[in-house]
Amino acid sequence: MVEYTDLKLQKNIDTVQDFDFNGQKIEVKQYLPINAKKDLIQIALQKAEEDGLYNQILLDVFFNLNIVYLYTNIEIAADLREDEFQLYDELFSSGLLDAIIAHMNGEEYDYLYKTMTDSIEDHMKYKYSAAAVLQSFIQDLPANAAAAADIVNNWDSSKFESVQDMIKMAQQTGMNPPIPTTTTSEENVVSFLEEQAKLDNNQSE
């Protein structure tokens, strides 16, 4: 067995590529520590989210601005960062942004972008899943308790084919859950609705 400390590993995070732009030496890091990568992606996602969806233009703006902030030696004053749309327009239209990306480690950029898009895909899958529908019911309690009780009292298993059927029933009683793209079992749905009916009865006592 080899002891980890005997490997004498060193972080190789200081490598840069440089190029000249308008007489200034621009340095571009070839590697960013994993924790900084995580922050870059999370900030881009947070700023690009609108009503639970991701705006593709905003994703492009904030993803690439954070590339500039974290991968280069360009110091951008706080007052200039106040209008990030103007800042992005200047970086993009001048060709500086493309030059920075061209001098990045290609695998590094591809990894960041793929990780961000994978995170979006996972988020959207959950958002429209059956689990998210049930979570939405829970968050809206106790307002949904009476509606849940009504669904249970009028339950007809012969009409249950998918979560979409349950959603239609819920909407008819005043609930407004998101429409899922996946299904769940009848047993789980009935169990959940029965719990909401119990909650409604407890509040009435």
| Helix (H), strand (E) at residue 25 | strand 24-29
- What pLDDT is recorded for position 5? 87
Strand partners, 53: 50
Q: Give the number of other Cβ atoms within 10 Å of residue 63's Cβ.
A: 20
- Which residue numbers in the chain have pLDDT < 50? 160, 162-163, 177-186
pLDDT value at position 134? Answer: 60
Cα-Cα end-to-end distance for the chain: 66
Sign of CA dihedral 48, 54, 50, 142: negative
- Two tokens, residue 61: 């703006």
110-137 pLDDT, tens digit each:
999 999 999 888 777 766 665 555 666 5
Q: State the sign of the Cα–Cα–Cα–Cα dihedral 140, 142, 143, 145.
A: positive
pLDDT score recorded for residue 109:
94
Of 30, 92, 34, 18, residue with least CA distance to 61: 92
| Prediction pTM value | 0.62
Could you tell me the residue ranges of all domains in the chain? 4-124, 130-204
pLDDT at 184: 43
